Amino acid sequence: MKSLVSLDKNNRAFTTTLIIAKGVKIEHRAVIILLKRHSNRQTLSSFEMFKVPTKGRPVEYAELTELQATFLITLMKNSDTVLDFKEALSKEFFRMKEQLAKIAAQQTNQQWIETRNRGKIDRKVETDSIKLFIDYAKEQGGSVKGCDMYYSNISKMENKALFIIEQKYKNLRDVLGLVDLLTVQQADRIVAKALQDGMDNKLNYKDIYKLAKERVTMFADIRGQSIIGYLTHDEEKLT
């Protein structure tokens, strides 16, 4: 289920007119009309508009801060549906602020900082292995564009196997708790080893990627997935 509140590239919480329209059960067009009608108010005087592609014409929507969303909803008739959504949205903004506060606090913890720095070394080893693997794949006839995507594809593969990610983050590893940092470091080493094993055994590059994915998936199955957005009990003890 899509979260009511998301983070922008600067880790600022926002919701959208699309989410509001769905939550209060009115047409999105009516929400946009209401927003623009009251854009002379200081609270609603500045917001960003975006477009989402559809089968027909793209749908234009606005991203709103907590203050803007709350004020906009106060302009609507207080039906039970509106009140229920207003309550749910307020709770979600509050939960997001708590989450961001935990992330900020853990990033000042010396143990977390040291672990994060060690992880960057493991990540460098992995990316060096990926570079060799990409060159290997190109030599076997892989397309330049397709092969160059392995940097992001391998990262996405690891993240999907290890985590249930509630939000998009500018850098996922900067928001991981201590235990999850250790986990992703282990996954980086698993991938690097799998890529090297595959190249040493002269496997087809597609089979090498499958090998890396299989090993990470096996590791994730043993460990279990973490939900990114909450600190686990063990992480709270460590931070």
pTM for the predicted model, two decimal places:
0.71
Using one digit for the tens of pLDDT, what is the confidence trace for 188-233?
999 999 999 999 999 999 999 999 999 999 999 999 988 876 433 3
User: pLDDT of 159-175, one tens digit each?
Assistant: 999 998 877 777 889 88
Nearest one of 160, 159, 145, 136 to 209, comparing CA atoms: 136
Per-residue pLDDT, 196: 96
The C-alpha torsion from 42 through 48 and 53 to 56, rounded to 10°, is 40
Q: How would residue 2 be classed by pLDDT, with cut points 50, 70 and 90? A: low
Q: Which residues pair with 228 in a beta bridge?
A: 165
Q: How far is CA 63 from the centre of its chain?
A: 17
pLDDT at 10: 78
Q: What share of the chain is helix, strand, coil (3-state, %, to 5)?
A: 65, 10, 25
pLDDT above 90 for 148: yes
Confidence of residue 142 (pLDDT cuts 50, 70, 90): very high
33-58 mean pLDDT = 91
pLDDT for res 233: 33
Residue 103: its pLDDT value, please? 83
pLDDT tens track for 56-70: 888 999 999 999 999
Q: Would you say residue 238 has pLDDT above 70? A: no
Percent share of the chain, pLDDT over 70: 95
Could you state, in order of their start, the residue ranges of all structural domains in the chain?
6-102, 107-238
Residues 118-131 have a mean pLDDT of 94
The chain-wide mean pLDDT, for the chain, equals 90
pLDDT at residue 8 in the model: 82
Cα(5)–Cα(189) distance, rounded to whole angstroms?
34
Q: What is the pLDDT of residue 11?
A: 78
pLDDT of residue 68: 96
pLDDT score recorded for residue 235: 37
The residue with greater pLDDT, 130 or 239, is 130
Query: Residue 86: which of 31, 138, 20, 137 has the closest Cα?
Result: 20
Residues 11, 167 contacting (CB under 8 angstroms): no
Q: Which of 161, 145, 162, 139 lies closest to 208 in space, CA to CA?
A: 139
Please tell me the predicted confidence (pLDDT) of residue 231.
38
